[in-house]
Chain A
Amino acid sequence: MAEIAIRDALRQALEEEMNRDETVFLMGEEVGEYNGAYKVSRGLLDTFGPKRVLDTPIAELGFTGLGVGAAIAGLRPVVEWMTFNFALLALDQVINNAAKMRHMSGGQLKCPIVFRGPNGPAEFLSSQHSQAFQSFLVHVPGLKVVAPATAYDAKGLLKSAIRDDNPVVMLESEMAYGWTGEVPDEEYLVPIGKADIKREGSDVTLIVHSKPLKMALEAADELAKQDIHAEVLDLRSLRPLDEEAIYESVRKTHRCVVIDESWPMASVGSHVAWLVSKNCFDELDAQVELVASEDVPMPYNHRLELAVQPSVEKIIKAVKTVLYIK
């Protein structure tokens, strides 16, 4: 086992899959000569050359659509979006084309493509550059969506995503690229569609994905000091969603707090909270709580932007609410 950063885990996944399969190639803004805006693709241009690591113009709609075309014609593109904020320009190709090619062609075509890059709030960037887009993407049948928050999951899920015959969107976090974690020396995959218990507990289930995982684990540490034992369930995949894992945990703890750094309306978090309320109705000892972003565009001012986002304190407060602790 080696302790590596998430950005290096992602790079290893790319490197291994590009070695394994010649049809895999990487393209995006600054992925080649600049080694990636967040240095995920460091060294890949040197290793694989300009045929397989391509610097694109700033033309998200164009190169994303090109990727879709290459995918239905037999290649396995990995499209890096510098951030998901800029991917909004490409969403027509993702939602109207990648997600629907198989369906519209009556099952004739497959579209094995990965769209990936940093998603979610960063720091000091104001509202166009600090937003979480999972709700927009999980909404769409035909797409798979994964959102890892550890080096192990990032590597294993990216490898699975590249091998998957469907379009897979992978949500990374700019703030988490430097987080380190253990990754086995031997090859492994993390299956798409499987949640993971990151910490076991008996009193309340914290359901989380992406970088708020760290906050949930910290909150669980804090709560343990007060003899409250939280189970932390990391969804990892948002579509397909591992509903069984969710219900199993809630049936054990009887209480549930969902954490999602995107806006609360029609979000992954609100959807999961609804599923739990509906399917664990008889098992629940309290209402399901949702800790989400405030329902506002992200302000630039740092104090404000921190106040907008989920926090360890907000999670602890929600846990105490479902435990009826004042």
Chain B
Amino acid sequence: MAKNQESSKKSESPQKYDKKFLTGLLVDMLNIRRFEEKAAQMYGLKKIGGFCHLYNGQEAVAVGSVAALDLKRDYILTSYRDHGHALAVGMSADSVMAELFGKITGCSRGKGGSMHMFDAERHMLGGNGIVGAQIPIATGVAFASKYKGTDGVTLCYFGDGAIHQGAFHESLNLAAVWKLPAIYIVENNNFGMGTAVRRVSSVDDFSVKAAGYDIPGKVVNGMDVLSLYEDLKEVIADARKNSRPWLLDVKTYRYKGHSMSDPAKYRTKEELEKYKEQDPILLLKARMLKDKQITEDEFKKLDDEAKKIAQASVDFAEKSEEPALETMYEDIYA
């Protein structure tokens, strides 16, 4: 039977990586953080409406895992909490912000909004609003990769709440029996909306659920982008080489409410502050400072640049056109 692994490593000294690579991870996380802050501000100004689920705090998960992929042949699918994944695969802040504004220049032509970021070319297959729905779909994408013999793997992200859907269990069994290169990533941020994990789950460690399907499972630190990257490198290589699925319980935390309308009264300030001490951006920055791979000044420059990109995306979205009324009849049939 496949044995579960505990993410043992403290990620090794960043010196093992060149400055360019580390700076890339840092920039990607900063861009997401500043983008989400801008999105929250625009929501407050009613430029964005509906459900808007922010990724603050979870940046390391999308950034570290996508960095370990080869998006020429690999794919990702995620839930409605998808702005971070969209930016991590290289979708422009402009196209994501314009989508949030419902403009025709948005990645989904203003049809999808916050929950439905898609970029077929970059192998980002959405943004799904139905909890758990992306899990069987991702399983099918992995099936297609195997069928076509591309050696591609599929990363499927979902929340700790989604794991209780039947779709999760049916998918893992299918992927195990058919030996599909799908990597199931629970972004375990402790809460499904207002419900703490332990109130609705019989186990704390989701990786044990892998045992029921005889596939490998692993607990992964989701706040440390480097150790997550290293874990994912190994897992992806294994899934690619042996064509088999994995289940990863990635421990992370969301700083904001479930969506913009959630005051998050179900948790304490202290809990939030405790998690912020291991903020993924600050963690990486601290290591790079210690290893003299960045200076405070350089960091500030990167951060200012991220803020500029976020502001520019708002300017772009503002001046973009609304979709014409006739477009409502488009994009329905091929």
Question: What residues of chain A have their CB less than 8 Å away from a CB belonging to chain B?
Answer: 29-30, 33-34, 37, 55-62, 85-86, 88-89, 122-129, 294, 296-297, 299-304, 307-308
Contact = CB atoms under 8 A, between A and B. Distances in A.
Given A296-B328, A307-B325, A59 B50 contact: no
Nearest to A88: B130
A29 B332 contact: no
Nearest to A34: B194
Contacts of B200: 55-58
A29 B191 CA distance: 13
Contacts of A58: 131-132, 161-162, 164-165, 192, 200
Contacts of A29: 193, 195
A49 to B, nearest CB: 15
10 contacts: A57-B201, A58-B162, A58-B164, A59-B165, A122-B50, A123-B50, A300-B99, A300-B108, A303-B323, A304-B328
Given A34-B194, A304-B327, A128 B131 contact: no
Given A125-B51, A129-B129, A297 B102 contact: no
A60 B130 CA distance: 11
A189 to B, nearest CB: 33
B149 interface: no
B50 A301 contact: no
B201 A129 contact: no
B110 interface: yes
A127 B116 CA distance: 10
Interface of B: 48-51, 99, 102-103, 108, 110-113, 115-116, 128-132, 161-162, 164-167, 192-195, 199-201, 266, 322-323, 325, 327-329, 332
Contacts of A122: 50
Given A299-B110, A300-B110, A59 B164 contact: yes
A59 B163 CA distance: 9
A33 B266 contact: yes
Given A55-B200, A59-B164, A30 B111 contact: no
A129 B115 contact: yes
